[in-house]
Structure 1
């Protein structure tokens, strides 16, 4: 599955299944291990976490209006040590806004299923249950 296929699959999943709005591909790319990484950004229909003091996203906006950044990768890239701490650090510094605290990692399996995980910039204190 090529990079454009992965991006298209995640974008369509966010728009038509997850009901996100304003999903678009960012122009900047990050060359990494003979591949290129690109970010999507968009607005989810509801708050993505249950943190009471969530400072992630666009400051001063309600949670529904927060813009989230999404990094689509293929499951084979995830398994092959493609996604390292160095890679994620470069994604945050080169592809994201300076105020971005987290991204959503979209991992696509060979059968087309997508799972989403939060990846935070730096160490983050666990939330209370």
Structure 2
């Protein structure tokens, strides 16, 4: 169990990351996650091991499978200016889980496993059994650096 001071610190970290996602990276549909019921309405109201964020980035984050549309749009943007209509044709980005951590934290494998165990398994697609989170590492000066972390081994993308 976490103490009140630890919980307060984790909530402060989450507010720094939330502000960064909203105002610098323009994420939308953001939801704060504190309990398992926040993840799934049928789940018990047990607290999560750590407070998290769930939201939609403005563009799709890294995908393990290359898409032909992204390579063709990158090629076309070098020859002709990008128009607003071509960007609106893209499907919306997938919702992502974000885990705020402090730069000085040392998380054990058990802590990481607990975070991934609480996440619902994604449905549909080739990545149906793969879970991933965006880890938001916050430094002492409130700089935030983002990493994508997968549960298990993921085959590297072939370009």
TM-score range, shorter chain: 0.7 to 0.9
C-alpha distance in structure 1 between counterparts of 2:18 and 2:135, whole Å: 13
Q: TM-score scaled by structure 2?
A: 0.63
Q: 1:97 matched to which residue of 2?
A: 120
Match of 2:150 among 94, 117, 120: 120
Q: Give unmatched runs, 5+ long, in structure 2.
A: 1-7, 36-46, 68-89, 123-129
Check the 8 A contact 1:14/1:23 in 2, yes or no. Answer: no
Q: 1:66 matched to which residue of 2?
A: 94
Pairing 1:3–2:10 present: yes
Q: 1:34 matched to which residue of 2?
A: none
Pairing 1:110–2:140 present: yes
Give CA deviations for 1:39-94 in whole Å, capped at 9, x if unaligned: 1100000011154358xxxxxxx7624110000011111xxxx3222211110112
Structure number with bigger Rg: 2
Higher helix share: 2
Q: Give unmatched runs, 5+ long, in structure 1.
A: 32-36, 55-61
| 1:42-61 correspondence to structure 2 within 5 Å | 42-52=55-65
TM-aligned CA deviation for residue 5 of structure 1: 1.3
Q: TM-score scaled by structure 1?
A: 0.77
Higher strand share: 1
